Chain A
């Protein structure tokens, strides 16, 4: 499985176990990028299915942080 695939699988598992936390609204105070973790998972799945890469730098940064977090 690819690194991306592993991340999606781990995040799907986390969302299933933490459905309320997955829907909590977050924001980066400086950039004002709002998101939920479920929303980020949806974007990763869309990227995989459409094969159109995510280019939003904020989403990419959040994705990296989620990947680090799930590895801990």
Chain B
């Protein structure tokens, strides 16, 4: 049983960037007292994600950090070296019920898409983007993406986490157009207000 599940495949050029964002996250979260499973590269398979997320198994208890490809109807992992859906419209309820999901991926939070479906079926919150987005190979970008994860780990409310991320993007906007671009497409969907990963999760009844 763990608090956080990190999913970050590495089977093409884009996921080399997003996988790198997750380097060090497990150690950081563990240093703050959280337990973590890190499904990196080939480990980010549909079978392993299903095993760690399915509600009945109760193996991931608080949040998912998902750094990878996405689309309006699926979040992708990897199988046999190729992209493969790991969370989709069909399994979203079973895999994300009573969890918080934080994504760096394209389009998962489009209207009527995966994030919206997940939240409507019991996922507590889903932070993602409404369209395709950019990544950068820079410490500033990594810090930006980490800001939401750090805020969640500190027990901030999801609204506060979102504000921390928005402020992090805004602080970097002179470094590249991508910060404002991603910020303009960022969206937090939530089923309730003022939740934290400690107040709303799979541990509490």
Contacts and interface: CB of A to CB of B under 8 A. Distances in A.
Interface of A: 18, 21, 24-32, 34, 37, 62, 65-66, 68-69, 72
A69 B134 contact: no
CB-based closest 6 A-B pairs: A69-B177, A30-B132, A25-B137, A24-B138, A30-B106, A21-B175
Contact of A72 (B107, B137, B180): B180
Q: How large is the interface on B (under 10, 10 to 19, 20 to 34, 35 or more residues)?
A: 20 to 34
A62 B132 CA distance: 13
Contacts of B18: 29
Contacts of A27: 13-14, 17, 134-137
Given A24-B136, A25-B137, A26-B134, 16 more contacts: A18-B175, A21-B138, A26-B137, A27-B14, A27-B17, A27-B137, A29-B17, A29-B70, A29-B106, A29-B132, A30-B106, A30-B132, A34-B13, A65-B177, A69-B181, A72-B180
28 contacts: A18-B175, A21-B138, A21-B176, A24-B137, A24-B138, A25-B136, A26-B137, A26-B176, A26-B178, A27-B14, A27-B17, A27-B135, A27-B137, A29-B70, A29-B104, A29-B105, A29-B133, A29-B134, A29-B135, A30-B106, A30-B132, A31-B132, A32-B13, A65-B177, A65-B181, A66-B177, A69-B173, A72-B180
A66 B180 CA distance: 11
A34 to B, nearest CB: 7
